[in-house]
């Protein structure tokens, strides 16, 4: 069994003078959910196409599930499911026919897999509808159904939550989580919905202008996020004096006071009690945590 | 083989469910019906006079209403119409994967890309030949219904070889149309190529170089411009075969190795 489900070494792809992907070294462990983040044009889709053998690297190489990708588009595709960019389907074929066509091209003998995946992606009521008449959300479900049809060991998904309604987003998130946790499926997903990546990924890679500028474990992200206690009160001055005399270092921004001390963040109830006793009762008290979006924006701004 | 038969099944399914092949077959069927109309006009000169320009043109084009004239008209229609209609089907079979953005679903599969391309060519060949047989059958029925004079077994044999043979020589040339529909990532480049080859084939034939120009060879083979033994030589068949093979090889190479960014 390979150590990595995905491994790229100095992966570089140039289109003429444009370097879309520049010396990217990716290592995605088996069973991981890897969130791949980047702005538009950062190189996410080109990287995904290189992982799937759709574009040939200008330099470097790609391995998926321990097998070299290419030359001639060869790879372990019977064990890989994918969804690249916006989903597509043959518009004159029904949902069932589209999936049956995919089944045949995957060489799967058992026709029941089509009905199983239709049930799994909640497409039963659309099964006999022509794909050309589907909403973008259901087309996305069809794309995901095709990616999951052959029970792959590795899923490479470009924006899997695109076009889905909020309930659909949650449903797909839970589906991917259960595939990873219960069946050991590796998920490599790009997304611009950072909260989705934040909630699902066990590791995150950030690509910017073709370069992988940061990789971090979800736990590390949790630790590095700045946390603050936000306090609002009608007696700002009294509250600040009271907090300073208790040894804290409050700072004011607009109508609020912020504390960054771990003790304050862990015991907001004690802060509230202190402020009440000082004659500055809080009208609002909340722990604020920097999210992935802010971290991402900060990082890409620094890399400009 | 199992891989290939599954892929062929999928390509036939896509063809069956689309309206494009039926519309093109319907378009092809206009040829024997139009030929039949000319024969009706030519059979009745009085009625032809009352029809003004149409009958004048019909007389100018085909002369007398008999089986040799009718078959000659069909041979011309099959040669020029075949090139256009087979091209439309080829452009659709290959180009639609790019226009519908479905090509990316065909690239990372256990079924090799070469198998998919081969299945597409087989479907195009089957459809093109079936459409030609249908048109030939209709033309026989129309000619019979009009009780045209001049029928003979030799004429039927010669005309069958001319019309069906022209189709068989046109089909391999579709390899270039497939290549243009693929590398052009859609319909337009391949349409442009079809028009270019039709026009150049006419020029080549007029200049007397038609036997050396692959795209003029099917029309010369059809017998529409005279006996094929006078028009074509062994070199013509070799050139057509080599040109078609080049088209197939580059198409297969393109699907296997070119960057796919659609």
Give a three-class secondary structure readout of A179-243: HHHHHCCEEEEECCCHHHHHHHCCEEEEEECCEEEEEEEHHHHHHHCCEEEEEEECCHHHHHHHH
Question: In chain A, what residues touch B261 (CB-CB under 8 Å)?
Answer: 49, 54-55
A127 touches chain B (CB under 8 A): no
Range of the domain at A241: 225-293
Q: Does residue A299 fall inside a structural domain?
A: no
Each residue of A217-257: pLDDT tens digit? 877 776 666 678 999 999 999 999 999 999 999 988 888 89
Tell me how close the Cα of B253 comes to any Cα of chain A, in angstroms.
9
Query: Do residues A233 and A254 lie in contact, with contact meaning Cβ atoms separated by under 8 Å?
Result: no
- Indicate whether A284 belongs to any domain: yes
Q: Which helix (H) or strand (E) covers residue A176, if one does?
A: helix A166-183
CATH number at residue A139: 3.40.50.300
Residues across chain B: 262
Q: Which two tokens stand for residue B174?
A: 């579709």
- Indicate if the pLDDT at residue B229 is higher than 80: no
Distance (Å, whole) CA A107 – CA A123: 23
- Kindly state the tokens that stand for A216: 């971090």
B115: chain A residues, CB-CB within 8 Å: none
Phi then psi for A157, rounded to 5 degrees? -125, 125
Confidence grade of residue A94 (pLDDT, cut at 50, 70, 90) = very high
Residues A251 and A192 in one domain: no
Do B105 and A88 lie within an 8 Å CB cutoff? yes
> Which of A194, A222, A250 is the C-terminal boundary of a domain?
A222
Question: Residue B218 — φ and ψ, nearest 5°?
Answer: -60, -40
Q: Quick one: A120 and A232 in the same domain?
A: no
The whole-angstrom separation of Cα A250 and Cα A247 is 9
User: Which H or E run includes B233?
Assistant: none
Q: Examine the pLDDT at A110 and tell me if it is beyond 50.
A: yes
* Nearest in space to B14 (alpha carbons), one of B78, B97, B79, B74: B97
Distance from CA of B25 to the nearest CA of A (A): 19
CB atoms within 10 A of CB B144: 11
A199 and A231, same domain (yes or no): no
Give me B92's structure tokens.
Answer: 């659709």
A146 with B105: Cβ contact below 8 A: yes
Q: Are residues A76 and A180 in the same domain?
A: yes
Question: Residue A184 pLDDT > 80, yes or no?
Answer: yes
Burial B206-219, CB ≥16 within 10 A → b, else e: eeeebbebbbbbbb
- A252: which strand partners? A257
**d(Cα B101, Cα A89) in Å, to the nearest integer?**
8
Is a pLDDT exceeding 90 seen at residue A157? Answer: yes
List, for residues A278-296, the tens digit of each pLDDT value: 999 999 998 877 667 777 7
Q: pLDDT by residue (tens digit) across A31-47?
A: 999 999 888 888 999 99
Specify the number of domains making up chain A.
2
CB contact under 8 Å between B256 and A73, yes or no, is yes
A217 Cβ under 8 Å from any chain B Cβ: no
Q: What is the pLDDT of residues A53-78, one digit of tens each?
A: 999 999 999 999 999 998 777 899 99
* Structural domain includes residue A78: yes
* Residues A31 and A168 grouped into a single domain: yes
Mutate one of B11, B101, B108 to test the A interface: name it (highest A CB count within 10 A). Answer: B108
* Residue A174 domain flag: yes
Burial of A54 (0-12, 13-18, 19+ CB in 10 A): buried
**B18 → closest Cβ in A49, A86, A92:** A92
Q: pLDDT tens across B27-62, in order?
A: 888 888 888 888 877 777 666 666 664 555 555 555
Burial of B147 (C-beta count, 10 Å sphere; 0-12/13-18/19+): exposed
| Chain A CB contacts of B106 below 8 Å | 105
Question: Is residue A133 in a domain?
Answer: yes
Same domain, A92 and A193: yes
Q: Are A282 and A236 in contact (CB under 8 A)?
A: no
Is A304 inside any structural domain? no
Q: B149, B136, B139, B138: which is closest to B42 by C-alpha?
A: B149
pLDDT of res. A33: 95
A236 and A205 share one domain? no
Residue B43, phi then psi, degrees to nearest 5: -70, -25
Q: Are residues A205 and A252 in the same domain?
A: no
Structure tokens at A145: 């159904």
- The CATH code of the domain that includes A240 is 3.30.70.790
Q: Which residues of A touch B112 (CB under 8 A)?
A: 73-74
Domain stops at, among A206, A222, A238? A222
In a domain, A298, yes or no: no
- Would you say A230 and A246 are in contact if contact means Cβ atoms under 8 Å apart? no
Cβ contacts (< 8 Å) between A88 and chain B: which residues?
A: 100-102, 104-105
Residue of A nearest to B10 (CA): A101
Select from A222, A242, A262 the last residue of a domain.
Answer: A222
Contact list, A85 vs chain B (CB under 8 Å): 101, 104
Sheet holding A211-217, edge to edge: A80-83, A154-158, A186-190, A33-37, A203-208, A211-217
Residues A242 and A192 in one domain: no
The answer to the question of residue A104 being in a domain is yes
Taking all residues of chain A, what is their mean pLDDT, rounded to a whole number? 90
């Amino acid at each position: 069994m390979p150590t990595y489900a995905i491994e790229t070494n100095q992966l570089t792809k140039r289109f003429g003078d444009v370097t879309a992907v520049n010396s990217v070294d990716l290592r995605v462990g088996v069973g991981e959910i890897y969130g791949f983040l980047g702005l538009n044009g950062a190189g996410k889709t080109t990287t995904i196409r290189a992982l799937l053998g759709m574009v040939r690297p200008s330099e470097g190489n790609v391995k998926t599930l321990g097998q070299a990708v290419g030359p001639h588009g060869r790879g372990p595709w019977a064990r890989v499911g994918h969804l690249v960019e916006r989903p597509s389907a043959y518009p004159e074929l029904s949902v069932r026919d589209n999936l049956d066509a995919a089944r045949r091209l995957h060489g799967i003998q058992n026709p029941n897999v089509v009905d199983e995946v239709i049930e799994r992606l909640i497409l039963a009521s659309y099964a006999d509808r022509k794909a050309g008449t589907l909403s973008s959300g259901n087309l996305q479900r069809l794309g995901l159904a095709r990616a999951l049809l052959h029970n792959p060991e590795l899923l490479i998904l470009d924006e899997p939550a695109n076009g889905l309604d909020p309930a659909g987003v949650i449903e797909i998130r839970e589906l991917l989580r259960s595939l990873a946790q219960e069946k050991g499926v590796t998920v490599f997903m790009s997304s611009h919905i950072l909260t989705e990546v934040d909630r699902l990924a066990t590791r995150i890679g950030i690509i910017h202008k073709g370069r992988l500028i940061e990789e971090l474990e979800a736990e590390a992200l949790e630790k590095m996020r700045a946390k603050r206690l936000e306090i609002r009160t009608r007696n700002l001055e009294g509250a600040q004096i009271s907090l300073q005399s208790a040894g804290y270092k409050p700072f004011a921004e607009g109508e609020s006071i912020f504390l960054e001390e771990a003790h304050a963040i862990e015991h907001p109830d004690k802060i509230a009690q202190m402020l009440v006793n000082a004659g500055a009762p809080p009208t609002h008290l909340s722990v604020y945590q920097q999210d992935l979006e802010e971290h991402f924006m900060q990082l890409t701004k620094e890399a400009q | 083989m199992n891989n290939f038969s599954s892929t062929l099944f999928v390509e036939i399914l896509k063809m069956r469910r689309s309206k494009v092949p039926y519309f093109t077959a319907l378009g092809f069927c206009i040829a024997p019906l139009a030929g039949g109309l000319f024969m009706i006009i030519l059979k009745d000169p009085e009625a032809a006079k009352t029809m003004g320009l149409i009958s004048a043109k019909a007389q100018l084009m085909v002369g007398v209403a008999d089986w040799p004239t009718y078959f000659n008209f069909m041979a011309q229609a099959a040669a020029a119409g075949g090139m256009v209609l087979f091209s439309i089907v080829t452009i659709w079979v290959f180009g639609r994967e790019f226009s519908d953005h479905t090509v990316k679903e065909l690239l990372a599969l256990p079924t090799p890309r070469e198998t998919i391309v081969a299945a597409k060519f087989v479907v195009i060949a089957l459809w093109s030949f079936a459409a030609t047989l249908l048109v030939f059958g209709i033309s026989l029925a129309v000619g019979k219904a009009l009780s045209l004079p001049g029928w003979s077994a030799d004429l039927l044999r010669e005309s069958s070889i001319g019309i069906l043979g022209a189709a068989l020589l046109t089909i391999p040339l579709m390899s270039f149309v497939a290549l243009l529909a693929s590398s052009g990532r859609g319909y337009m480049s391949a349409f442009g190529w079809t028009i270019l080859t039709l026009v150049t084939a006419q020029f080549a034939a007029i200049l007397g170089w038609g036997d050396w120009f692959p795209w003029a060879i099917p029309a010369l083979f059809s017998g529409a411009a005279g006996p094929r033994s006078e028009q074509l030589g062994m070199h013509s068949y070799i050139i057509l075969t080599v040109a078609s093979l080049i088209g197939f090889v580059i198409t297969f190479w393109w699907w296997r190795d070119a960057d796919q960014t659609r």
